[in-house]
Structure 1
Amino acid sequence: MSAPTSAEMMKHLMESAGATREPAADMAHLAELVRALPKVRDGRETRVGLGGNLFDVVITASGLQARSAVALMDSIQGGCGPVIEDPEGGWFYWLVPPGSCGRWKPHHHAVCLGAPHTITVPSLDRSTPPGPYWVRPLASDRLVPTGSLREALAQLRPEPTPHAALASQLGITT
């Protein structure tokens, strides 16, 4: 997959501006994304903000159950949407449609995050460790559907659950 061309980005900007060509409401997020894309395309990982028009992320443990969930999503989707593994942290990051965080109901084996959080996106050609890598590559035509993912995770139950570790990282106390 290649990064969007400038013409494709301009087309997206024009379409998102609406009939009166009003400025898009999330121009800061879009500008951040435009600055990040060349890094990802050119073989460098970069931090990208979640939410906006890009994607949210569902976080699960990595491991055999998570890999089985990817295989199940492959069969459901005809090829699973984008998934990043962070082997150092022991996490899978499932890229889901933007806005999913606001609709995500609590799940024992997964957490969904959106804005204002960020994620490290590996270069598009990184498919093995060290560092974060694509278990399933980013494609322009799909993200992971949350309904099917919820069901797969409930069935396969990847452990350990991410809640306590993420709460600690984010400084959340109960």
Structure 2
Amino acid sequence: MIAPAEALPPGSAVMQHLVESVGTACCPAADLADLAEVVRALLAVEARRDTRVRLGGHLFDVVITSSGVQARSVVALMDEIQGGCGPVIEDPDSGWLYWLVPPGSSGRWEPHTHAVCLGAPHTITLPSLNRTVPPGPYWLRPSASDRLVPTAPLREAVAQLRPEPPPHAAFTARLGIFP
């Protein structure tokens, strides 16, 4: 219960008026809920916990390739192009690399024989920042706040070096998201 305005100090009376003017149907803005979700996820990763995040939005999309020898050559080439490759997660259990690319990339990504690009509404589990070796998914190239992997050079490198096997069949069977 809110106290009567006359019993409150002047600043509290103003706050009381604002509370009453909002009424009972008070819902947080959708963008603030999204921001809160992003902040919680980033704090969890920073606190060295694995955390699941939505792709797209303002964070990143993901390009998925195999993690074989050719894919390691793509990482080395991206190291040269970027002066240190942007963030890449390796999942040794699935045999995939997850390249964190700018948000919105999945909407512009043309079909590719050796890579798949996903954005919203899909999610990814980010390993804790201190996980740089297996077991489980780990940061092959650590996440840095100032960079993602640029899609155009990545696409060219993947087309040139052709990481095998292509992820499409395994990805389709495992996640069941493609027709």
**TM bucket normalised to smaller:** 0.7 to 0.9
* Equivalent residue for 1:74, pick from 79, 82, 87: 79
Query: What is the root-mean-square deviation in Å for CA atoms of aligned residues?
Result: 1.6
Q: Which residue of 2 aligns with 1:39?
A: 44
Distance in 2, Cα, partners of 1:25 & 1:148: 34
Distance in 1, Cα, partners of 2:163 & 2:121: 26
Partner SS for 1:139? coil
Count the aligned residue pairs: 152
Q: Which letter does structure 2 place at the counterpart of 1:54?
A: L
Alignment CA distance shift 1:97-1:25 (3 Å): farther
**Please, what TM-score do these two structures have when normalized by structure 1?**
0.82
Q: Which moved more, 1:160-169 or 1:105-114?
A: 160-169
Q: Which residue of 1 aligns with 2:6?
A: none
The CA deviation at 1:24 is: 7.7
- What stretches of structure 1 of length at least 5 have no aligned partner? 1-22
Distance in 2, Cα, partners of 1:78 & 1:26: 34
Alignment CA distance shift 1:25-1:102 (3 Å): farther
Q: Which residue of 2 aligns with 1:145?
A: 150
The question of 1:109 aligning with 2:111 is answered: no
Alignment CA distance shift 1:112-1:24 (3 Å): farther
Alignment CA distance shift 1:158-1:37 (3 Å): same
Q: Which residue of 2 aligns with 1:166?
A: 171
Partner SS for 1:159? coil
The CA deviation at 1:173 is: 5.8
Alignment CA distance shift 1:156-1:31 (3 Å): same
Question: Is contact 1:29–1:49 with CA below 8 Å preserved after alignment?
Answer: no
Question: Is contact 1:26–1:52 with CA below 8 Å preserved after alignment?
Answer: no
The CA deviation at 1:125 is: 1.2
From the CA coordinates, give the structure whose radius of gyration is larger.
2
**Please, what TM-score do these two structures have when normalized by structure 2?**
0.80
Q: Alpha-carbon deviations, 1:98-154, whole Å to 9, x = none? A: 000000000000000000101110111111001111011111111000000000001
Distance in 1, Cα, partners of 2:46 & 2:111: 34
Q: Alpha-carbon deviations, 1:38-68, whole Å to 9, x = none? A: 2211221111110000000000000111111
Q: Alpha-carbon deviations, 1:52-86, whole Å to 9, x = none? A: 00000000000111111000000011110000001
